[in-house]
A and B are shown apart, each in its own frame.
Chain A
Amino acid sequence: DAGVIQSPRHEVTEMGQEVTLRCKPISGHNSLFWYRQTMMRGLELLIYFNNNVPIDDSGMPEDRFSAKMPNASFSTLKIQPSEPRDSAVYFCASTPTSGANTGELFFGEGSRLTVL
């Protein structure tokens, strides 16, 4: 079975440019999470969705960040305009909320963003 799929795996951009990160959750999983990982702050939750509805976006740093989940199989995290301090690895994770729910999150391979 395919796991969580993220793209791109690596992105290098210049300050001020728009960045869009993409995620396809595991089929049948109805919860989706976006985390950011940095050396200084570790793994931080940015936002999570249940059944495509945002539940908690309190971790989204500021208005430059936005996330959408237009359907059960796709989510985007957009940064506009990007800044050097946004450089990090961004992880998407998914999990079911019922049935085979064992509590664990299934992570994608992450998108490493570098903003110059």
Chain B
Amino acid sequence: AQTVTQSQPEMSVQEAETVTLSCTYDTSESNYYLFWYKQPPSRQMILVIRQEAYKQQNATENRFSVNFQKAAKSFSLKISDSQLGDTAMYFCAFRHNNNDMRFGAGTRLTVKP
């Protein structure tokens, strides 16, 4: 069974600084998707970034980028130039084929002014 582990329950960062959220996963599959979702206080689940396992290049979306290490089964999220609006819960997630999506426990990120 696939599992997703986020070892940082809470993190904080100063506005305009850079922060990295960690995620590891366990799977025997070779092709899959990895995701980071953001959940602000409104509770809406918002996709931040997506990585396909067969792509070696790390995904980037504006201030958000990932460090995907397939052999190590690691998928960290880097947020550059942190903004107050980045304050939220961040969930790492794994999905293989058309099966269900597995989530980590989440990391609560607070951006301080």
Contacts and interface: CB of A to CB of B under 8 A. Distances in A.
A binds B: yes
Interface of A: 31, 33, 42-43, 45, 48, 50, 56, 89, 91, 93, 97, 101-105, 107, 109-110, 112
B101 A105 contact: yes
Given A91-B45, A109-B44, A97 B98 contact: yes
A42 B103 contact: yes
Contacts of A33: 100-101
Contact of A50 (B42, B52, B98): B98
A57 B90 CA distance: 26
The CB with the most chain B CB atoms within 10 A, among A42, A43, A107, is that of A43
Nearest to B42: A109
Interface residues of B, number: 20
B75 interface: no
- Chain A's interface: helix, strand, loop or mixed, by majority? strand
Q: Which 10 A-B pairs have the closest CB atoms?
A: A103-B33, A107-B45, A43-B103, A97-B98, A45-B100, A42-B105, A103-B95, A104-B47, A48-B100, A110-B43
Contacts of B43: 89, 109-110, 112
A80 B37 CA distance: 31
Contacts of B50: 102-104
B62 to A, nearest CB: 17
Nearest to B98: A97
27 contacts: A33-B100, A42-B103, A42-B106, A43-B91, A43-B103, A45-B101, A45-B102, A48-B100, A56-B99, A56-B100, A89-B43, A91-B45, A93-B101, A101-B98, A102-B50, A103-B33, A103-B35, A104-B33, A104-B35, A105-B45, A105-B95, A105-B101, A107-B44, A107-B45, A109-B43, A110-B43, A112-B43
Contacts of B47: 104
Contacts of B33: 102-104
